[in-house]
Chain A
Amino acid sequence: MDTNRIQNLKNQAISSILESKSEKELEQARIEYLGRNGEITKLLSLLPSLKPEKRKERGILLNETKKTIEEAIKNQLSIINHQSSAIDSGWFDITMPGIKPLQGHLHLITQAIEEITDIFKKIGFTCRTYPEVEWDWYAFEGLNMPKNHPARDEWETFFIQDLFHPKYGETVLTPHTSSGQLREMERLGQPPIRMLNIGKCYRRQIDVSHAPMFYQFEGLVIDKDINITHLKGVLDYFVKQYFGPKKQSRIRPFHFQFTEPSFEVDVTCIVCGGKGCKVCKQGWMELGGSGMVHPNVLKNGGIDPSKYTGFAWGWGVERVLMMKYNVDDIRLLFNGDLRFLQQF
């Protein structure tokens, strides 16, 4: 009676117990090992014939094995019983509350970004992300906004202390995703470009519709023969995909230094459907800016404006999602209140 034999017996017993599918099979397994003529019982009856020093050690091992097998039988029995009772008994109360798996919640911004990227991926845009802490050159100067240009006022900019590049200038927290335009031109070297740049932006303002940190998504298309009708087409496609097929978009003149012509894009008011209400301007809601890429910006990005044209837009992720989900204070998105976050 060596220990390996005992170990092997235990292994066999446990595997046949685990394979048992009914009470009958389980009983057979019990008889085989623990019954009057069972394997373990037989070994136990041999114990008195062993030498005293071996008797004690084997006795402990055999008894532990017996206990383990008994335990395994008990467990398997409860599994079998549970299964059969659920299947067999006649009446069952299906109105008892279900036990739901615990589910979490994705942030509304994440949900919006997923939706937006899906829409643009379908028409060939590549998702990118660019630095949030950025040189003045990429955020302003290279975008045709020289220092001291009043247009810069629109971008209430945060500056970083003690960080300066001799060529690229001061450092800012990028106030818009447009800083990714030159970066993308530099990365690819030449058109075609179809970029969707999504990232955090920062501006020095806070109220119900402005947070010092927010997200933008920036589209940039540069290729041969790109014109305003393409810009209208792409934006209209987005508006219908994101807000619904009945929504219309329109572009109006606006001004940005880095686009010429520049536009403001409006979408049919989602509250009144275009009739005109308190929330909108005569049936239209402002979505954000866009325009044809300024030739100076193309030049700064190393692209020949006599060969290529392009358009760009940069809109707030929060703005579109707030319109869609009826959220009335942007700060709710960033204050970590689970009562808000767990609604979505």
Chain B
Amino acid sequence: MNIIILDSWLKEHLKTKASVKQIGEYLSLCSQSVEKIEKTDNDWLYDIEITTNRPDCLSVYGLARELAVILPRFNLPAKLLPLETKHELNKSEEELPLEVKITKPSLCPRFTALIFDKVVIKPSPKIVQERLEKSGIRAINNVVDISNYLMLELGSPMHTFDYDKIKNHKMILRESAGGEKITTLDGQVRPLPDGTMIIEDGEGRIIDLCGIMGGDNSQVDEKTKRVLLFVQTYDPVKIRQTCQKLAFRTDAASRFEKGVDPEGVMVAIKRAVEMFVENCEAKIASNLIDIYPHPPKTKTVDLKFNYLQQIMGVEIPQKEVLGILEPLGFKIIASSKEAIHCSIPHWRDSDINLPEDLIEEIARIYGYHHLPSNLLPNLVTEEEKDNLFEWINLAKEALKFWGFTEIVNYSMVSEQLLKNWEIQPVDCLKIANPLSDEWVYLRTSLVPSLLEVVNKNKKAKSKIFEMGNIYLPQSKDQLPEENLMLSGLLVDENFAHLKGFVESLLEEMGLVDYKINPYELQKTFYGKIFHDHRRAEVTLGKTSLGIFGEIKKSILERLGIKQRILVFDLDFNELVKYANHHKRYLPIPKYPPIIEDLSFVVPGKTYVGKIMEIIKTVNPTIKSVDLIDSYEQTRTFRVTYQDLNKTLTDKEVEKIRKKIIESLKNKFGLKLKGKKED
């Protein structure tokens, strides 16, 4: 949460000669981050980010208190000025009645109220108006402005009611139930979730949405004569839940949900009295109502000096430790050479609990910039190397050098995309609170998103790829399987190129014994998206490593794509399981190979891959088989025969050739071209 603080207002509480720039820099280095400093008229505005653990800094006074400790560390004298109040409470001659009932003490740790009479409603003094406006709050009238002014100055939110609008002068603080409603000051009707803290006047009229905003029916207006001032602290969790449920948050609520110091309430009341008397010509018309059943006990924390040194990495002399803690408001109850025992100032009650919290206080005021930088000592891990990242890099680099551009798409996709690809929404994890319709489901394939990239770019030929997780739902109490996929897409290329990329990639990863077979399943996702005949599965043993093929026309038409789209979709986790760098030296052959071309007439629908597989297995001297020509029904293979130990003779090759011809004839009914059957 950011707050805006005026330099002149700050200096009203802090006596120092430090410059605006120095204040900005040193506050950032030792406490809260000053994000911007801006000049306004003759003044300066600090825009400061206050961390959630430091609600005590959400005010002019709180920051002055910090600076009074920090600035002297940079040799800039600074003194926090005391909050003076002239008026005494509980000496009222008048006693206007107010009956208060709190149904559950935990809802409201401290409830204070005071009534003023003879209030004259008019604009606030100029300085109040100006300070509010510059801090980003609209000035309204002298009464309402008091509560806003003091919230900024002291950090205690407060509220003012028109006393005469509270029927029977009764207040019941309770939790809402059964779907009640309130019209808040801003004119909005707000249905109240059960359990919301509210105040009603005893006749069922709800006059306050506690800690968030007052009711419209009890607000101070130009006719108001008697004012009820109201300073409370609330259960922060309750306030927060209500804000979340109502999707509505005010400045006051943001403070209450971080915790407001109940001990700070009295100072705020006293300052308010002063302002009511001075700005509104008001008279105190009641004694203080202060319901505070369980004032928090002062907390204490122990800190061992060797632990301080262990975390900070340097030794801080005891004297210096005390010199930091005491100005911050910590009281040293006991100390020895080894440790201190100290109490925590009430404004830090919610934040400081552990020795580590004290260490932070000491270290930040000592100055992190004064600590040296040390590299870690050397560490030899015996852990087995996890190669995943290496293989990821290798695969990506290979694709890059083969002309692919890498894409990173969002993991979340729209319902429309699922429809286009015939993916059932129930098969995907759904985000309960999506940011937009575009990002609702977690994708179960990278392919659809890659196609969207094609559609967006309208480029003729392109090659793209993405590596990322897909999310496969398991049971209702199990995290999804996150599977790393490597998917590539070619626009207007042919199947052989696609297959070539897949094969080269597998080879780069040291995979050799894989098989590529037609993919036959119809009802799977792949069955639905790929051309019935132009799709293949890569397998290794019984493991499927992935699918590649040409995307079906019907899908492309739905997406308005006219080009031919080829896709590979590899299960990268599986690939990595088998990937290896095993390469072994084979002696370079001393004897020349015999190379021959064999042409066969092949019956229709015979897979050439199977033919080549068969040829290879005929004899170990067959070193390679390449398809060098394919025309109509004729396939010409170049066969290389080579023996490591001798020069093959024509006779030996003749024998092997006969066997090739024979097995192809038996398996597939192939006929060698130019040879009559014997």
A106 near B396 (CB under 8 angstroms)? yes
A3 near B429 (CB under 8 angstroms)? no
Chain A residues whose C-beta falls within 8 Å of the C-beta of B236 in the assembled complex:
150
Chain B residues whose C-beta falls within 8 Å of the C-beta of A252 in the assembled complex:
28-30, 33, 368
* Least CB distance, B393 to chain A, in whole angstroms: 6
Interface centre among A133, A292, A339 (most CB of B within 10 A): A133
B431 interface neighbour in A105, A148, A159, Cβ under 8 Å: A159
Taking the complex as formed, is A94 at the interface, i.e. its CB lies under 8 A from any CB of chain B?
no
A15 near B375 (CB under 8 angstroms)? no
* Least CB distance, B627 to chain A, in whole angstroms: 16
A227 near B313 (CB under 8 angstroms)? yes
Taking the complex as formed, is B332 at the interface, i.e. its CB lies under 8 A from any CB of chain A?
no
Q: Do A126 and B313 form a contact, CB below 8 Å, given A148-B237, A159-B432, A254-B33?
A: no
Q: Do A253 and B372 form a contact, CB below 8 Å, given A61-B674, A127-B389, A133-B442?
A: no
Chain A residues whose C-beta falls within 8 Å of the C-beta of B593 in the assembled complex:
15
B595 near A15 (CB under 8 angstroms)? yes
Q: Do A173 and B431 form a contact, CB below 8 Å, given A60-B674, A225-B310?
A: yes
B399 near A104 (CB under 8 angstroms)? yes
Taking the complex as formed, is B376 at the interface, i.e. its CB lies under 8 A from any CB of chain A?
yes
Chain B residues whose C-beta falls within 8 Å of the C-beta of A171 in the assembled complex:
479
Closest to A54 in B: B676
A233 interface neighbour in B36, B374, B462, B480, Cβ under 8 Å: B374
Interface centre among B25, B236, B354, B407 (most CB of A within 10 A): B407
Chain B residues whose C-beta falls within 8 Å of the C-beta of A227 in the assembled complex:
310-313
Chain B residues whose C-beta falls within 8 Å of the C-beta of A151 in the assembled complex:
52-53
B596 interface neighbour in A7, A160, A230, Cβ under 8 Å: A7
A334 near B374 (CB under 8 angstroms)? no
* Least CB distance, B59 to chain A, in whole angstroms: 17
User: Residues 215-235 of chain A: 1 if any B CB is under 8 Å from the residue's CB, otherwise 0?
Assistant: 000000101011111101110
- By DSSP majority rule, is chain A's interface helix, strand, loop, or mixed? mixed
Looking at the complex, which of B116-124, B379-387, B533-541, B663-671 is the stretch in contact with chain A? Answer: B379-387
B311 interface neighbour in A107, A128, A228, Cβ under 8 Å: A228
A261 near B432 (CB under 8 angstroms)? no
* Least CB distance, A70 to chain B, in whole angstroms: 14
B356 near A294 (CB under 8 angstroms)? yes
> Please, how many angstroms separate the alpha-carbon atoms of A335 and B476 in the complex?
32
A229 interface neighbour in B314, B359, B429, Cβ under 8 Å: B314
> Please, how many angstroms separate the alpha-carbon atoms of A152 and B353 in the complex?
20
* Least CB distance, A303 to chain B, in whole angstroms: 15
Q: Do A212 and B410 form a contact, CB below 8 Å, given A124-B379, A131-B479?
A: yes
Interface size on A, residues (CB 8 A): 100
Chain B residues whose C-beta falls within 8 Å of the C-beta of A225 in the assembled complex:
310
Chain A residues whose C-beta falls within 8 Å of the C-beta of B28 in the assembled complex:
252, 281
Taking the complex as formed, is A98 at the interface, i.e. its CB lies under 8 A from any CB of chain B?
no
Taking the complex as formed, is B169 at the interface, i.e. its CB lies under 8 A from any CB of chain A?
no
A334 interface neighbour in B371, B388, B409, B653, Cβ under 8 Å: B409
Q: Do A292 and B435 form a contact, CB below 8 Å, given A14-B595, A255-B54?
A: no
User: Residues 123-159 of chain A: 1 if any B CB is under 8 Å from the residue's CB, otherwise 0?
Assistant: 1101111011111000000000000101101100011
> Please, how many angstroms separate the alpha-carbon atoms of A237 and B373 in the complex?
9
Looking at the complex, which of A40-48, A74-82, A83-91, A162-170 is the stretch in contact with chain B? Answer: A162-170
Looking at the complex, which of B101-109, B451-459, B578-586 is the stretch in contact with chain A? Answer: B451-459
User: Residues 16-57 of chain B: 1 if any A CB is under 8 Å from the residue's CB, otherwise 0?
Assistant: 000001001100111111111000000000000001111000
B401 interface neighbour in A104, A202, A255, Cβ under 8 Å: A104
Closest to B649 in A: A8
Taking the complex as formed, is B349 at the interface, i.e. its CB lies under 8 A from any CB of chain A?
no
Looking at the complex, which of A20-28, A30-38, A109-117, A267-275 is the stretch in contact with chain B? Answer: A109-117
> Please, how many angstroms separate the alpha-carbon atoms of A10 and B657 in the complex?
14
B595 near A237 (CB under 8 angstroms)? no
Taking the complex as formed, is A52 at the interface, i.e. its CB lies under 8 A from any CB of chain B?
no
> In the complex, which residues 289-344 of chain B have their Cβ closer than 8 Å to any Cβ of chain A?
310-314
A133 near B33 (CB under 8 angstroms)? no
Taking the complex as formed, is A39 at the interface, i.e. its CB lies under 8 A from any CB of chain B?
no
Chain A residues whose C-beta falls within 8 Å of the C-beta of B36 in the assembled complex:
281
> In the complex, which residues 393-409 of chain B have their Cβ closer than 8 Å to any Cβ of chain A?
393, 396-397, 399-409
* Least CB distance, A107 to chain B, in whole angstroms: 4
Q: Do A295 and B241 form a contact, CB below 8 Å, given A126-B383, A133-B429, A264-B33?
A: no
Closest to B383 in A: A126
Chain B residues whose C-beta falls within 8 Å of the C-beta of A282 in the assembled complex:
21, 24-25
Q: Do A200 and B429 form a contact, CB below 8 Å, given A7-B657, A233-B376, A295-B356?
A: no
B35 interface neighbour in A159, A202, A281, Cβ under 8 Å: A281
A4 near B650 (CB under 8 angstroms)? yes
Chain A residues whose C-beta falls within 8 Å of the C-beta of B449 in the assembled complex:
336
B674 near A64 (CB under 8 angstroms)? yes
B386 interface neighbour in A127, A226, A292, Cβ under 8 Å: A127
Taking the complex as formed, is B469 at the interface, i.e. its CB lies under 8 A from any CB of chain A?
yes
A11 near B594 (CB under 8 angstroms)? yes
Chain B residues whose C-beta falls within 8 Å of the C-beta of A234 in the assembled complex:
375-376
Chain A residues whose C-beta falls within 8 Å of the C-beta of B597 in the assembled complex:
10, 14, 68
Taking the complex as formed, is B174 at the interface, i.e. its CB lies under 8 A from any CB of chain A?
no
* Least CB distance, A242 to chain B, in whole angstroms: 16
Q: Do A228 and B363 form a contact, CB below 8 Å, given A133-B471, A161-B430?
A: yes
A221 near B431 (CB under 8 angstroms)? no
A192 near B379 (CB under 8 angstroms)? yes
User: Residues 194-217 of chain A: 1 if any B CB is under 8 Å from the residue's CB, otherwise 0?
Assistant: 100000101011100000110000
> Please, how many angstroms separate the alpha-carbon atoms of A44 and B446 in the complex?
62
Interface centre among B241, B314, B429 (most CB of A within 10 A): B429
B373 near A229 (CB under 8 angstroms)? yes
Taking the complex as formed, is B654 at the interface, i.e. its CB lies under 8 A from any CB of chain A?
yes
A148 near B240 (CB under 8 angstroms)? yes
* Least CB distance, B672 to chain A, in whole angstroms: 9
Chain A residues whose C-beta falls within 8 Å of the C-beta of B478 in the assembled complex:
165
A228 near B312 (CB under 8 angstroms)? yes
Taking the complex as formed, is B508 at the interface, i.e. its CB lies under 8 A from any CB of chain A?
no
B310 near A250 (CB under 8 angstroms)? no
> Please, how many angstroms separate the alpha-carbon atoms of A118 and B323 in the complex?
44
A232 near B374 (CB under 8 angstroms)? yes
Chain B residues whose C-beta falls within 8 Å of the C-beta of A18 in the assembled complex:
595
Chain A residues whose C-beta falls within 8 Å of the C-beta of B25 in the assembled complex:
282
Taking the complex as formed, is B463 at the interface, i.e. its CB lies under 8 A from any CB of chain A?
yes
Taking the complex as formed, is A103 at the interface, i.e. its CB lies under 8 A from any CB of chain B?
yes
* Least CB distance, B14 to chain A, in whole angstroms: 19
* Least CB distance, A56 to chain B, in whole angstroms: 10
Closest to A213 in B: B410
Chain A residues whose C-beta falls within 8 Å of the C-beta of B371 in the assembled complex:
228-229, 232
Chain B residues whose C-beta falls within 8 Å of the C-beta of A295 in the assembled complex:
354, 356
A260 near B357 (CB under 8 angstroms)? yes
B393 near A114 (CB under 8 angstroms)? yes
13 further A-B contacts with Cβ under 8 Å, apart from A14-B597, A159-B433, A212-B435, are A7-B657, A8-B653, A8-B654, A126-B381, A133-B442, A133-B482, A148-B240, A148-B241, A173-B431, A227-B313, A253-B31, A253-B364, A292-B356
* Cross-chain pairs A/B with CB under 8 angstroms, 6 sampled: A7-B596, A133-B479, A162-B476, A228-B313, A255-B54, A294-B356
Q: Taking beta carbons and an 8 Å cutoff, which residues of B are in contact with A?
A: 21, 24-25, 28-36, 51-54, 236-237, 240-241, 257-258, 310-314, 354, 356-357, 359-360, 363-364, 368-369, 371-376, 378-379, 381, 383, 386, 388-389, 393, 396-397, 399-412, 429-435, 439, 442, 449, 452-453, 456-457, 459, 462-464, 468-469, 471, 473, 476-480, 482, 592-597, 650, 653-654, 657, 674-676
Q: Taking beta carbons and an 8 Å cutoff, which residues of A are in contact with B?
A: 3-4, 7-8, 10-11, 14-15, 18, 57, 60-61, 64, 68, 101-107, 109-110, 114, 117, 123-124, 126-129, 131-135, 148, 150-151, 153-154, 158-166, 171, 173, 192, 194, 200, 202, 204-206, 212-213, 221, 223, 225-230, 232-234, 236-237, 250-255, 260-264, 281-282, 292, 294-295, 309, 333-339, 341-342
**10 shortest interchain CB distances as A-B pairs:** A227-B313, A255-B51, A261-B360, A229-B313, A336-B453, A102-B403, A104-B404, A232-B373, A107-B406, A260-B356
